[in-house]
Chains A and B, each alone.
Chain A
Amino acid sequence: MHPAENKVRAEAISARINDAYKTLSNPLLRAQYLLGLRGVDVANDEALKVEEPDLLMAVLEAHEEIVEAEAEEDLDTPREENDARIAASEQALEHAFQHDDVDAAKHEAVRLRYWVNIKESLDNWEKGKDAVLEH
């Protein structure tokens, strides 16, 4: 049997490792973490605003398309489009971090946040069900 203090310590370390694994394996969380190291908080800054009407329009239209879908097949094209957006954003983030371009990384992390939400809507789609995101 392990002494109690070792158990608490082991639990804390285990939680930390799980957290680290989750962050490293998820491009959005990874980008948010890397930005956090540079003093930019895109995950919790509530005063942050999106100054890109085109982005919001694209997001709104993508969500509308999902809500209006009649059958699972209707989502094939939106899903492909969104996967492409996610891939492009991940690539842009990779590039931005390689060149230590914090502004570009911040901008792209916000976009990726939106694409991930669209993906969540796509994955949670059920006929006739309203889209409510869990976060």
Chain B
Amino acid sequence: MNKKDLDVGTGLVGAPACGDVMKLQIRVDPETNKISDVKFKTFGCGSAIASSSYLTELVRGMSLDEAGKVKNTEIAKELCLPPVKLHCSMLAEDAIKSAISDYYTKNPKAKITSLDGTGMKMPAAEATPAAAAA
């Protein structure tokens, strides 16, 4: 996907502990605010690749609101990740949140998803600063 496209959100995240890097891209249908397509590219261990792969299957067709609520525990449970590999699922959760943030940064008029409790800061969208808190 072309990351310059307005309807594409790109998330690029890394885990310093293991040196993995994960790129996740979503294409959003501006009419429905749903994720119409999603791609990933992950360089890391098998668990990191599996986490991002499962995540893409999970969020395809979801609205941005739903996708923003995906928890790493959901991914870890499905893949039966051992405790030492939990950070791989956290990385995947970060990736989708980062991609959604990127989409909203490019499309400040779109309704902002609440990412409460994720520890990830939303970049302030200039047009609707109040909506971030709502």
Contact = CB atoms under 8 A, between A and B. Distances in A.
Interface of A: 42-50, 53, 55-57, 59-60, 63-64, 110, 113-114, 116-117, 121, 131-135
A63 B18 contact: no
A117 B45 CA distance: 10
A57 B12 CA distance: 8
Contacts of B86: 46
Given A46-B87, A56-B21, A63-B21, A134 B14 contact: no
Q: How large is the interface on B (under 10, 10 to 19, 20 to 34, 35 or more residues)?
A: 20 to 34
Given A46-B87, A49-B16, A114 B45 contact: no
Interface of B: 12-21, 23, 41, 43-46, 49, 86-87, 90, 94
B13 A60 contact: no
Nearest to A64: B41
B19 A116 contact: yes
B17 A42 contact: yes
Contacts of A42: 16-17
6 contacts: A44-B17, A45-B16, A49-B15, A56-B21, A57-B12, A113-B18
Contact of B15 (A46, A55, A64, A134): A46
B16 A59 contact: no
Given A45-B17, A56-B12, 6 more contacts: A43-B17, A55-B14, A59-B14, A59-B43, A117-B18, A135-B19
Query: Top 3 closest A-B pairs, CB basis?
Result: A46-B87, A50-B14, A117-B19
Given A63-B21, A133-B20, A48 B15 contact: yes
Contacts of B41: 60, 64
Nearest to B44: A133
Contacts of A63: 21, 43
Nearest to B49: A132
B20 to A, nearest CB: 7
Contact of A135 (B12, B18, B90): B18
B43 A133 contact: yes
A60 B12 contact: yes
Contacts of A48: 15-17
Contacts of A114: 14, 19, 21
